Amino acid sequence: MTSGRSQYCGECFELFDSELAHCPRCGKTVAALSYRDYQQKLAQALEHPLADVRMWAIIALGLRGEGSAAPALVDCALRRPADVVEGLETVRSLECILVGNGEVGALMHLAEAHPAHAVRLAAKRALENHPPCPFCPAESVVLRNELACVRFDIYPVNPGHCLIIPFRHVANYFDITKEERQAMLALADEAKKILDRDFAPQGYNLGINVGDVAGQTVPHVHLHLIPRYLGDVENPRGGVRGVIPARQHY
């Protein structure tokens, strides 16, 4: 005898009796499905047969701003090309993700491949509103490890001025992982050896700008490694305190 209450399987969306311990269609246990984190559940909901459920998942993924959700959102839109409303909402969510993560590839895919003209046009407009990040993808790399890379600044303060940049697009330094910080600092040590050999500076400044008020112009974390040379400024006393010139000297 059944309980009369039903639930959807989080894997295949089979509707089955809530008292069953596993889905009769795919075999997934209710306990195993409950261990999925919220991000995984939202991504899975993009395959739900009910349009309202898919729409809420699309909106929620956009609000969360997770770059890893972009491919699943694109697949959802392309699976149902006739649903233009869903496609347009997908573009809006991808635009939210782009702002936080620099993920332009997903929008470019929709702008080129979606059958609906309205969706392609919306994706193209979103791309026009958000030019691609100059640090994504990594180019002209001098050094790299698994999580970050080094490149020379194209507007150097001094000869040898380098930028250490995590591959993952994150705007705020305080939002990167411990592993990314360690990778950046390890590359700073390696880059210094090259600069010592090739430029022989007498000192260095290291600095990170976080936020517009701190002078950050590219919303992708980057650590400046700036070689310093005797006589490059009249009075170097105070160093990084010079970000507020009136308080540099003390």
Does a structural domain hold residue 19? no
Contact of 195 with 164, CB cutoff 8 Å: no
Q: How many domains does the chain have?
A: 2
Whether residue 35 is predicted with pLDDT greater than 70 in this model: the reply is no
Quick one: pLDDT at residue 101?
59
Quick one: pLDDT at residue 8?
62
Same structural domain for residues 103 and 165? no
Same structural domain for residues 106 and 186? no
Using CA atoms, how far apart are residues 16 and 8, in angstroms rounded to an integer?
Answer: 6
Whether residue 100 is predicted with pLDDT greater than 60 in this model: the reply is no
Q: E strands along 84-181, which residues?
A: 141-144, 148-152, 162-166
Note if the pTM is more than 0.75. Answer: no
Least confident of 1-10, 104-113, 181-190: 1-10
CA-nearest of 162, 152, 144 to 206 is 162
Does a structural domain hold residue 209? yes
Whether residue 58 is predicted with pLDDT greater than 70 in this model: the reply is yes
Domain coverage including residue 235: 141-247
Does a structural domain hold residue 100? yes
Band (pLDDT 50/70/90 cuts) for residue 155 is: very high
Quick one: pLDDT at residue 1?
43
Whether residue 5 is predicted with pLDDT greater than 70 in this model: the reply is no
Same structural domain for residues 238 and 149? yes
Contact of 192 with 202, CB cutoff 8 Å: no
Quick one: pLDDT at residue 145?
96
| CA distances for 235 relative to 40, 45, 191, 204, 245, angstroms | 55, 61, 26, 15, 12
Same structural domain for residues 149 and 185? yes
Same structural domain for residues 109 and 145? no
Q: Considering the chain, what is the average pLDDT of its residues?
A: 87
Same structural domain for residues 122 and 74? yes
222 is catalytic: yes
% of the chain surpassing 90 pLDDT: 53
Least confident of 21-35, 69-83, 236-250: 21-35
Determine the average pLDDT of the residues in 106-126: 92
Same structural domain for residues 94 and 191? no
Catalytic residue among 114, 222, 224, 249: 222
The last residue of one of the domains, among 102, 129, 156, is 129
Determine the average pLDDT of the residues in 169-191: 94
CATH number at residue 220: 3.30.428.10
Quick one: pLDDT at residue 83?
95
Does a structural domain hold residue 167? yes
Whether residue 62 is predicted with pLDDT greater than 90 in this model: the reply is no
